């Protein structure tokens, strides 16, 4: 009786182990299945427009089944990439991505740089930055990196001075000189162009400027320079997915001569290819 029990227990244990290994293998196969479409989360402009150009003109010939899913915020594309709802995203810069991962415990990594959207200062009240009145209110994005970029832009154009070394982590508390006594209204990035009627000026991300029918190359009072700029927009995936053949194909297509020409023709300097 005892021997029989031991044998039965051993058989059951082996069966359970086999079942467990089979289940793990099935999960692994499912997770690594690259036969379906690659779903990419993107901001509507210009990211989704660029991806749609790729989908309509380049993807089929390259053997890539591409789906574009639009988001209007700077959070959901990363959380959706982290939880696997989408396979990749295209909307952000490396400094923003690094800050997001640090704050949210996510594991998103860059695949390839695609373009730069210069951050700009806009106003419905003045035509030049130095015409801003004493005590003027400027709307700036409230997320860490874009707020820092905004203040760096204002500093680079002589409107204020920042502490040395603060970089894109700069906040209004890091201002050391403010000769015009500028005030700052911190808003979610998407809201900054809508605030132009209520403030003296606003610093607006390139994609939101274009969506608001602003032309960064023409309308901005001051504009970020492309040279040496670390804020290129990139294709990103969850860590471990960089070798997905669909992702590799998309990375190649996004940095192709055809996409560079599309960016140059459609955005006329308001978006700059970074490859």
In the predicted model, what is the mean pLDDT of residues 102-109?
97
What's the chain's average pLDDT?
Answer: 88
| Rounded CA separation 263/201 (Å) | 27
Q: What is the 3-state secondary structure (H, E, C) of the chain?
A: CHHHHHHHHHHHHHHHHHHHHHHHHHHHHHHCCCCCCEEEEECHHHHHHHHHHHHHHHHHHHCCCEEEEECCCCCHHHHHHHHCCCCEEEEEEHHHHHHHHHHHCCCEEEEEEEEECCCEEECCCCCCHHHCCCCCEEEEECCHHHHHHHHHHHHHCCCCEECCCCHHHCCHHHEEECCCCCEEEEECHHHCHHHHHCCCEEEECHHHHHHCCCCHHHHCCEECCCCCCCCCEEEEEECCCCCCHHHHHHHHHHCCHHHHHHHHHHHCCCCEECC
pLDDT cut 70: percent of the chain above it: 88
User: What pLDDT, on a 0 to 100 scale, did the predictor assign at position 68?
Assistant: 98
Contact 205, 194 (CB under 8 A): no
In the predicted model, what is the mean pLDDT of residues 205-224?
93
User: What pLDDT, on a 0 to 100 scale, did the predictor assign at position 104?
Assistant: 97
Tell me the pLDDT band of 136, cut-offs 50, 70 and 90: very high
160-208 pLDDT, tens digit per residue, is 999 999 988 899 999 999 999 999 999 999 999 999 999 999 999 998 9
Least confident of 10-14, 85-89, 144-148, 184-188: 10-14
Q: State if pTM tops 0.75.
A: no
52-81 pLDDT, tens digit per residue, is 999 999 999 999 999 999 999 999 999 999
């Amino acid at each position: 009786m005892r021997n029989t029990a031991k044998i039965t227990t051993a058989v059951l244990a082996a069966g359970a182990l086999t079942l467990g290994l089979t289940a793990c293998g099935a999960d692994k196969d499912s997770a690594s299945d690259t036969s379906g479409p690659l779903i990419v989360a993107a901001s509507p402009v210009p990211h989704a427009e660029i991806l749609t150009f790729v989908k309509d003109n380049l993807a089929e010939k390259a053997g890539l089944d591409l789906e574009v899913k639009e988001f209007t915020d700077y959070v959901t594309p990363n959380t959706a990439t982290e939880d696997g709802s989408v396979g990749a995203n295209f909307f952000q810069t490396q400094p923003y991505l690094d800050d997001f991962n640090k704050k949210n415990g996510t594991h998103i990594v860059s695949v390839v740089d695609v373009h730069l959207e210069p951050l700009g200062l806009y106003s419905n009240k003045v035509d030049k930055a130095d015409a801003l009145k004493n005590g003027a209110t400027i709307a700036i994005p409230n997320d860490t990196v874009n707020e820092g970029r905004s203040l760096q832009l204002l500093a680079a154009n002589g409107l204020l001075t920042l502490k040395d070394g603060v970089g894109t982590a700069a906040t209004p508390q890091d201002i050391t000189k403010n000769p015009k006594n500028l005030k700052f209204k911190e808003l979610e990035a998407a809201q900054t162009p809508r605030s132009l009627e209520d403030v003296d000026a606003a610093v607006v991300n390139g994609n939101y400027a274009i969506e608001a029918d602003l032309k960064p190359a023409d309308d901005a009072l001051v504009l970020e320079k492309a040279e040496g700029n670390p804020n290129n927009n990139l294709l990103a995936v969850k860590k471990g997915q960089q070798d997905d053949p669909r992702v590799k194909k998309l990375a190649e297509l996004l940095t192709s001569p055809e996409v560079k020409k599309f960016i140059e023709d459609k955005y006329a300097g308001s978006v700059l290819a970074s490859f």
